[in-house]
Amino acid sequence: MTRHTKLVTLLVLAALIAVAPLFFPSAFYYRVGSLVFVNGLAVVGMVILIGYAGQISLGHAGFVGIGAYTCALGPLYLGIHPSIAAVLGAILSAVMAWLVGRPILKLKGYYLGVATLGFGVLVSMVLSKEGAITGGPDGIAVPDLGLRGLLKDAGLNLTNAEFWYAFAGLALLLGAWIALNIYNSPTGRALRALHGSEVAARTVGIDVPRLKLQAFVISAVYASAAGSLLALQNKFITPDAAGFMHSIEMVTMAVLGGAGSVLGAVFGAAILTILPQVLTVFQEYEYILLGLVMMLVMIFLPEGILPSIGRRLRGKSE
Amino acid sequence: MPELMQFLLSGITVGAVYALIALGFTIIYNASDVVNFAQGEFVMLGGMITVFTYAAGLPLPLAAIVAIVLTAGVGVLLNKLAIEPARGAPVVSLIIITIGASIFIRGVAQVVFDKQLHRFPAFSGDAPIAVLGATILPQSLWVIAGAMAVFVGLYLFFTRTLLGRAVLATANNRMAAQLVGINTKYVMTLSFALSAAIGALGGVLVTPITLVSYDVGIGLALKGFAAAMLGGMGNPKGALVGGILLGIIEALTAGYISSQYKDAAAFVVIIAVLFAMPNGLFAKGSTDRV
């Protein structure tokens, strides 16, 4: 990827975010849009971990949970502003990722999968069992961010849905910009090198454990930020945000769109976020269709949807 | 002391179910290097199909056999339609395919059956048997005996029969196995059928104790996966020991520490074990091919 494609990616993303509302018939669409961006942000983090570094995590929703619950509990118990709480959540996630990542990133493939899975399960379990503090399985209210009120005072009057659409969109753009910069940086090159072959990477002097840990921590911060946004936007959060199914969703979104590319990540997030909204019409068959989509895409478009389509368009068969 | 005995007995019962699921994981992993996250759905199908065929008037043993055979068929279909076409895909894709299959099967079960909890009567009544001051349900003995029988059967199959060795050969090196005349496609089909049948058997055995509904699969799959990992993936002995160990750890945690965190204990132990022994309890040393 050259600097040129980085610019193109960001411009395409910005254009999509800016133009889409022209076709929105109701506030509901803004809401789905902002959900796409929030999930997209988390999945861009997964791209750094899976796509760049080639490591898998089946427990990243744990970090989403940490980010989300810090926004709920920080203001409640520490009296801090929700925005400070979001930053605190990101720091907490980074520290957790660092502590957890050091031992478990030695593991490979399925073993890494089960260890990260264990971490995610533990986080969601604490969130739902410590009901006295976290509100338990029924969830907990999250205070208002207050930014919309400030904008209103400054003369910019947005509806709640519009505000969160714009805010999440900007957050996604920022996240994408950072991820694209990492891709071209020495760190990004080293990550891709160890993805290709750990042994080869080590022989050319790359500190493999340190880099894996970096990718793990960065992706955890992305997940945490997405969790904070989700909590603040919904003004409510439940332990499901940290659950196993959410972790799987995040991995699926990343791989579905194309794990190597930021745009693919956003595309994957869009599909898996919008699909259930459409499928509520077929309520009974929602699971069947979701499972079917996951299998079919992975069987017939193993590189993910965007890269496979791109290849078709360029007319290269292999 | 009777307390400890009671916890151990219930731990071994639950552990035997985990062991059955872990054995299922092991067979498929051995033949194809795929960790099949839909393994828990086989248990669910075993229980659910038995419930509904029994309710339709079939005698219980026949209903159980029907359930096991049908589930084995589902396993074969899963292999033919989803795993075989994705041959050689990376680990992440395979995880997503099998989880997709798991969600799909759950969705179908929800439509075909219903969303209620079900059970059918225990095989040998519900009168608890006293053992060293503790009690055990006759059905628990069935579960434990089932797991042992499957383990012994598999052990003999893999070490004493030509077909079993063909499965191991396929696992070791698919190409080489093909070259010496092993029909690796048949081996794959067989592994999925066997694995699904074992899962279904687990479902049939445990339903009178734990009940069954369309959504029990994923939780069981995670526990079985963890048990298989604890013992070391691909090793039947590891699957058995890992499963029983996991069940006992859970029961002890529930009894002595906190019943809320019994699921947590399992994962804490697994992370600790993997930390010390990155390839599980029964791993042989592994080397990377460069």
pLDDT in tens, B66-106: 999 999 999 999 999 998 888 777 777 888 899 899 999 99
Q: Quick check: A291 and B93 CB within 8 A?
A: no
Q: Quick check: B103 and A287 CB within 8 A?
A: yes
Test the A interface: residue of B34, B95, B213, B235 with most A CBs within 10 Å: B95
The per-residue pLDDT for A318 is 41
Confidence of residue B205 (pLDDT cuts 50, 70, 90): very high
The count of CB pairs under 8 A between chains A and B is 136
Q: Which residues of chain A have pLDDT under 70?
A: 1-3, 315-318
**Do the Cβ atoms of A77 and B232 come closer than 8 Å?**
no
Token pair for A25: 């018939």
Q: Quick check: A294 and B97 CB within 8 A?
A: yes
ipTM of the complex: 0.83
Q: CB count, 10 Å around CB of A208?
A: 17
The per-residue pLDDT for B285 is 52
Rounded to a whole number of angstroms, the distance from the CA of B16 to the nearest CA of chain A is 20
Integer angstrom CA distances of residue B206 from A113, A171, B22, B167, B198: 28, 49, 15, 28, 12
Question: Which pairing describes strands A236-237 and B129-131: parallel, antiparallel, or unpaired?
Answer: unpaired
Q: Quick check: A290 and B85 CB within 8 A?
A: no
The per-residue pLDDT for A2 is 61
The per-residue pLDDT for A137 is 86
The per-residue pLDDT for A1 is 52
Among B28, B56, B30, B24, CA closest to B43: B24
What is the rounded average pLDDT of the residues B236-258? 90
CA B262 to chain centre: 20
The per-residue pLDDT for B30 is 81
The per-residue pLDDT for A49 is 92
For chain B, percent of residues with pLDDT exceeding 90 = 43
Half-sphere exposure of B167 (CA within 13 A, CB side): 26
Q: Quick check: A293 and B270 CB within 8 A?
A: no
pLDDT in tens, B210-230: 889 888 888 888 888 888 888
Q: Which positions ≥6 away from B258 have C-beta within 8 Å?
A: none
Rounded to a whole number of angstroms, the distance from the CA of A95 to the nearest CA of chain B is 18
> Which of A198, A290, A295 faces B82 most closely, judged by CB atoms?
A295
The per-residue pLDDT for A315 is 64
The per-residue pLDDT for B290 is 47
